[in-house]
Amino acid sequence: MMLPVCAVINKRAVSWTLNFLTIVSFLLVPAFSIADEGLVVYSGRAERLIQPVLDAFEARTGIPVRVLTGSSTALVNRLQFEGERSPADVFISNEVGTLEHAHKLHLLRPVAMKEIDRAIPSAFRAPDNSWIGLSGRIWVVVYNTTLVQPDQVQSILDLADPRWKGKLAIPNAGNEYLQAGVSVIHALNGKQMTEQFLKGIKANAGSFVFGKNRQIVKAVAQGEVALGIVNHYYIFRHLDKHPQAPIAPLLTTDQGSKGMGIVMNASGIGITAHAPHVAAAKRLIQFLVSQAGQKLFADLNKEYPLHPEVAADAVLPDRKSFHVAQVPLTRLGELRDPIMTVIEDIGLR
Amino acid sequence: MVSDSSTFRIPSVFSQSLSLISLGIAGLIVLPLVYVATTALLADSAVWGRLWTTRVPELFFNTISLAGTVAIGTLLLGVSLAWFLTQYDFGGSRTWEWVIILPLAIPSYVLAYIYSYLLGLGGPLDVTWQWLVGEDSHIFSPFTFAGAALVMTLNTFPFVYVLARSAFLNFNISYEEVARVTGATRLSTFFRVFLPLIRPSLVAGLLLAILYVVSDFGAVSLLRYQTFTYAIYQQMTGRFDYTAASCLSLLLVIFALVFVVGERWFRKTSRFYQTSGAFRRVKPRTCTSLQTGLITLYLLVIVGLAFALPVMLLMQWTMTAIAEGELSFRFLGFIWNSILLSGSTATLALLVGTPLAYLACRKPTRLNMLCLQGAYSGYVLPGPVAALALLVLISQMVPVLYGTTVILVVAYLIHFLPAGLQAMESALHQVNPNVEEAARNLGARAVRTFRVITLPLVKGGFLGAWILVFIQCMKELPATLLLRPVGFDTLAIRVWLEASEELFQLAAPPALLIIIVSIPVVILLTRRTGSLS
């Protein structure tokens, strides 16, 4: 009785061991065969929006590119943890404050290239080109055209008015565009106004606090709420799919000689301090600031190209039809952390 | 047969070396926790003050109420299903046994994004509701407490079902007969004999479900329901400084440990063994056609909501994606990566978990129990936080592993070993120590006793443990997001990347693949637990 049991067990033990060894060896294969070639891109810009540009670059130069996408802030944190060991060559972010923050942490390196100086206005890059803006986006009020008259909102600050209670959708506290937008409001209107604004929109939004701009646009389009604050391209992306949606960007806010202007931000790129492939990284930047690269990069997301000679997508309102808030983009980086504290003190989610 | 002590003589050299091993393992698992706790305790009091006044009360309330509701929901669903499928014999009952477990193959975030579509304004369920109730009425929004509770319950009830089912199957009918012969009614037999005997299994299943809710990131983030884990993730991806995230993590860990310790205490006060000699399984009763109809309807609704409907939607979206030429051979790579990581972790979890579970069951000294509790802490350490702690620790201590998949396997192990341990412990508890003692008295060495006597008896349970770990790894999201090497995407990552852009069609193929890969494993689980006794 005992013998056959033992035989079974032993067979089983052998096959277990074999299975285990197989699995372990499989485990080690990818562990040590991670290729060390080509350009490595850390991108805070969604894969869908960056991959076609990188594919075009690869086709043009033959340099293979690998990309890791994530939240810009999380990628900066990762760069910092990785230090000298980081495989990243360039860091692409959708928000200048993050780039400036990475710059201040010495995670980016200065770049001297005539092409950059010629293509990108100096307001949209770090003085030493540690980061270079690539496309502009505005942080704007989106309204439901059947529920709201454009003249009901003169300033983005009006959204704090109790009349919009339960009718406003806002991004959550971790949203980089919210942080940057509030930084601009803070820089131009002071702390008290900013806190009043945040308290107001928090009360008005109630549970309409969204992790994604796209969800805000959708809520406005479906009439769940009347107003929202988003980056402009989410509105046009929605209109692309649903041309009949009753939504529009409100470009008349904060205009006129006394208005602070519409909040503008930029996406941008920087070469990392410990980049293993600096030459290839420079070629990527060279491509991205070229007219062809600018057009491709901006149009994919319906943004405004920063190169003065490159036209924006035809569906976008003329860039000259509104004026934008004048805050040095580098100031946004400085304000990032204090603003986060303010946002949290107010108790925004 | 009831015995109040399970400790018995284990040779000291053997048990001491086992203790040493499990101490080492527990130490490794606790290390990230220690790192997080230190960061949290050294935090500026202003950070704590801000958290206490702005976030903590809301998070406690939300987390407790969600976990409580899901616990009740899974208990009702899991126990009722297990009861129907073990006590009754009706057409198709053998098929239902494995069909009912299929929801385990669906990741919480997939179910969440499907329900945000189904229940959302103008979604199919909302439209149906309006048709039934009236134009002005809307079904509850998926982005509420009810939405989150529904999704989490539908996603986790099989945990309770599996454990309740195996307890029902291992139930010796003699107890019931004794109760009935001595005059107990059927109802009081159920409450006074049946329930107490299966209680340890139920509590284990419940704990699994509760910890799952507490540590889930995918569903609550998509449904925007603020729990601790989601708040921690928001802190981590939105801030450059992890202090506040560490503080919240520490609170979450303490919170979850209360449940673990409570369950352990509860199990200690009620431990049962069943004699194997006179074991006779409960004979399922044959159903009338009315009963069959009602039970089948009940099963259809639950499986429909938790599995069939979501999968049909995913298939439809996948077809569209294929028709539009969105699918490429890259998917094979994603499948391979997912299976590789999950398989390695599950095997490692068994190897690492065995000494911990064995010692906790057979020699529950203070030290051994401490090791076990230490290992359990990994489950409640939120995925992203464990990942970051690991990032720092590994890049300081073993930099050669940095940027490899090994770091991912370790993160998974920390996070999912407890799921396996739970099942392994339950299996070991079902083995009467007297059997092992008999082998020892007959002269077998401890290792041999374990291999020849214990292992075959717990094989089914251990396989169940492997499967639980494997499936959880397939679905893992936050740690993979933070730790994956460049260019190493898993299926879960693909789902998340596309779903977070609300590109349902593009998210569907990898989601469907995760489910397809998980299904055979899930079916195996029922087969094995079925043939256990």
**Cα gap B250→A229, rounded to integer Å:** 34
Helix axes B383-397, B405-430, angle to 10 degrees: 120
Quick one: pLDDT band at residue B203, thresholds 50, 70, 90? confident
Q: State both tokens at B76.
A: 């009702």
For residues B115-125, give the mean pLDDT. 81
pLDDT at B24 over 90: no
| Per-residue model confidence as pLDDT tens digits over B438-481 | 888 888 877 788 888 888 888 878 887 888 888 888 888 888 88
Angle subtended by helix axes A2-32 and B405-430, to nearest 10: 160
The mean pLDDT value of chain A amounts to: 87
Tokens encoding A302: 């319906």
Q: Which residues of B224-237 are buried (b: 16+ CB within 10 A; e: fewer)?
A: bbbbbbbbbbbbbb
Out of A46, A68, A344, closest to residue B501 by CB: A46
**Counting one residue from A and one from B, how many pairs have CB atoms under 8 Å apart?**
132
Q: Across the interface, do B143 and A347 touch by the CB < 8 Å criterion?
A: no
Question: What token pair was written down for A346?
Answer: 């107010």
Q: What percent of chain B has pLDDT over 70?
A: 91
Q: Residue A343 and residue A191: Cα distance in Å, rounded?
A: 11
Mean pLDDT confidence for A138-163: 94
Cα–Cα distance measured from residue B425 to residue B417, given in angstroms and rounded to the nearest whole number: 12
**CATH top-level class for A137-263+336-346?**
alpha beta
Asked whether A126 and A100 are in contact (CB, 8 A), the reply is yes
Tell me the pLDDT of chain B averaged across its residues. Answer: 81
pLDDT in tens, B391-444: 778 877 877 777 778 888 988 998 888 878 878 888 888 888 888 888 888 888
- The residue type of B291 is Q
Q: Residue B278: what pLDDT?
A: 61
Helix (H) or strand (E) holding B89: strand B88-89
pLDDT surpassing 50 at residue B532: no
Type and span of the H or E element at B408 = helix B405-430
- Contact status of B224 with chain A (Cβ, < 8 Å): yes
Domain with residue B48: its CATH number is: 1.10.3720.10
Q: Is it the case that residue B510 has pLDDT exceeding 80?
A: yes
Q: Which tens digits make up the pLDDT trace of B328-376?
A: 777 888 888 888 888 889 989 998 888 888 888 887 888 888 888 788 7
Kindly report the nearest CA distance between residue B344 and chain A, in angstroms.
6
Contacts of A199 (CB under 8 A, 6+ apart): A160, A346
Q: Do B503 and A77 touch (CB under 8 A)?
A: no
B487 contacts A66? CB cut-off 8 A: yes
CA distance A120 to chain B (A): 28
The yes-or-no verdict on residue B17 having pLDDT over 70 is: yes
Please compute the mean of the pLDDT values over residues B111-129 and round it to a whole number: 83
pLDDT in tens, B28-86: 888 888 888 888 899 888 888 888 887 888 888 999 899 999 999 999 999 899 888 88
Q: Which domain holds residue B139?
A: 12-274+287-323+331-530
Q: Read off the pLDDT of residues B150-168 as tens digits, 9 standing for 90 and up.
A: 999 999 898 888 888 878 8
pLDDT computed for residue B46 by the predictor = 84
Does B482 contact A46 at a Cβ distance shorter than 8 Å?
A: no
B513-527 pLDDT, tens digit per residue, is 888 877 877 776 656
Q: What gap in Å lies between CA B400 and CA B395, rounded to an integer?
A: 8
Establish if B4 belongs to a structural domain.
no
From chain B, the residues in CB contact with A210 under 8 A are 224
Count of structural domains, chain B: 1
Q: Can you tell me the mean pLDDT for A224-231?
A: 94
On the question of pLDDT at A20 being above 50, the answer is yes
pLDDT level of residue B493 (50, 70, 90 thresholds): confident
Residue B372 included in any domain: yes
Given a contact cutoff of 8 angstroms between Cβ atoms, the answer to whether A173 and B238 are in contact is yes
The three-point CA angle B431-B437-B442 to 5° equals 130
Out of B54, B391, B404, closest to residue A344 by CB: B54
Ramachandran category for residue A68: left, alpha or beta (phi over 0 → left; psi -120 to 50 → alpha) = beta
User: Pick the residue with more confidence: A2 or B71?
Assistant: B71
For residues A294 and A134, the answer to whether their CB atoms sit within 8 Å is yes
What DSSP assignment string belongs to B49-73? HHHHHHTHHHHHHHHHHHHHHHHHH
Output the pLDDT for position A337.
79
Q: Read off the pLDDT of residues A106-135 as tens digits, 9 standing for 90 and up.
A: 999 999 999 999 999 988 999 999 999 999
- E strands present in chain A: 39-43, 65-69, 90-93, 108-109, 132-144, 168-171, 209-210, 227-231, 247-250, 263-272, 304-305
Q: Is residue B3 part of a domain?
A: no
Cβ atoms of residues A71 and B482 within 8 Å = no
In this prediction, residue A11 carries a pLDDT of: 61
Asked if A340 and B239 come within 8 Å (Cβ–Cβ), the reply is yes
Check: CB of residue A171 under 8 Å from CB of residue A214: no
- pLDDT tens by residue, B275-300: 555 666 677 778 888 888 899 999 99
* Listed range (A54-63, A92-101, A312-321, B210-219) with the worst mean pLDDT: B210-219
Q: Within an 8 Å CB–CB cutoff, is residue B395 touching chain A?
A: yes
Domain boundaries along the sequence of chain A? 39-136+266-315, 137-263+336-346
pLDDT of residue A6: 44
pLDDT at residue B269, as a whole number: 65
Least confident of A276-285, B302-311, B380-389: B380-389
> In this structure, is residue B165 part of a structural domain?
yes
Render pLDDT for B223-279 as a digit per residue (tens, 0 to 9): 878 888 888 887 777 777 778 888 888 888 888 778 777 766 776 665 555 555 566
Using the Cα atoms of residue B79, residue B80, residue B83 and residue B85 in order, give the sign of their dihedral: negative
> Are residues A34 and B404, on separate chains, in Cβ contact within 8 Å?
yes
| Phi, psi of A133, deg, nearest 5 | -65, 145
CA distances from A47 to A66, A68, A279, B314, B483 (A): 11, 8, 23, 22, 17
Pairing, β A227-231 against β A209-210: unpaired
Residues of A with Cβ-Cβ distance to B239 under 8 angstroms: 73, 174, 340
Average pLDDT rounded to a whole number, residues B473-491:
85
In the 8-state DSSP scheme, what is residue B452?
I
Q: Tell me which of A20, A22, A27 to substitute to probe the interface with B (most B C-beta atoms closer than 10 Å).
A: A27
Taking the Cβ of residue B482 and every Cβ of chain A, the question of whether any pair is shorter than 8 Å is answered with yes
Residues of B in contact with A76 (CB under 8 A): 240
**What does the alpha-carbon distance between residue A24 and residue B351 come to, in Å, rounded to a whole number?**
12
Q: Which residue has the higher pLDDT, A303 or B230?
A: A303
**Cα–Cα dist B218/A134, whole Å:** 32
Considering CB atoms only, which of B242, B340, B503 is closest to A26? B340
Tell me which residue in B224, B485, B488 faces A211 most closely, judged by beta carbons: B224
Which alpha helices (DSSP H) does B170-308 contain, by range?
173-181, 186-189, 195-215, 218-222, 228-238, 243-269, 289-303
Give the mutation candidate from B54, B119, B240 for the A interface (greatest A CB count, under 10 A). B240
Contact list in A for residue B497 (CB cut-off 8 A) is 46-47, 69
B82 close to B168: Cβ distance less than 8 angstroms: yes
User: For the complex shown, is ipTM > 0.85?
Assistant: no
Which of A24-33, B265-274, B299-308, B317-326 is predicted with the least confidence, judged by mean pLDDT?
A24-33
Q: Which tokens hold the place of B110?
A: 């997939």
Please report the beta strands in A273-326, taking only residues with DSSP state E, as ranges in sequence order. Answer: 304-305
CATH number of A39-136+266-315: 3.40.190.10
Rounded Cα distance between B440 and B483, Å, is: 46
Q: Where residue B3 falls among pLDDT bands split at 50, 70, 90?
A: very low
Contact A31 B404 (CB under 8 A): yes
pLDDT in tens, A235-255: 999 999 899 999 999 999 999
pLDDT of A157 reads 94
**Are A347 and B388 inside 8 Å of each other by CB?**
no
- pLDDT of residue A146 exceeding 80, the answer is yes
DSSP secondary structure letter of residue B306: I
Query: Residue type for A288, please?
Result: L
What SS3 class is residue A148?
Answer: coil
pLDDT at B367: 83
- pLDDT tens per residue across span A197-217: 999 999 999 878 887 788 899
User: Is 70 exceeded by the pLDDT of residue A32?
Assistant: no
Please report the pLDDT score of residue A192 as a whole number: 93
Q: Which of A344, A345, A346, A348 to mutate to test the interface with B (most CBs of B within 10 A)?
A: A344
Q: Which helix (H) or strand (E) holds B18?
A: helix B12-41
Which residues lie below 8 Å from residue A20, measured CB to CB, with a gap of 6+? B347, B351
Contacts of A66 in chain B (CB under 8 A): 486-487
Facing residue for A30 by CB, picked from B121, B488, B497: B488
pLDDT tens-digit map of B219-236: 887 787 888 888 888 777
Residue B369 CA, chain-centre distance (Å), reads: 21
Distance CA B189, CA A231 (A): 64
Residue-level pLDDT at B531: 41
Is B279 inside a domain boundary?
no
User: How much is the pLDDT for A280?
Assistant: 95
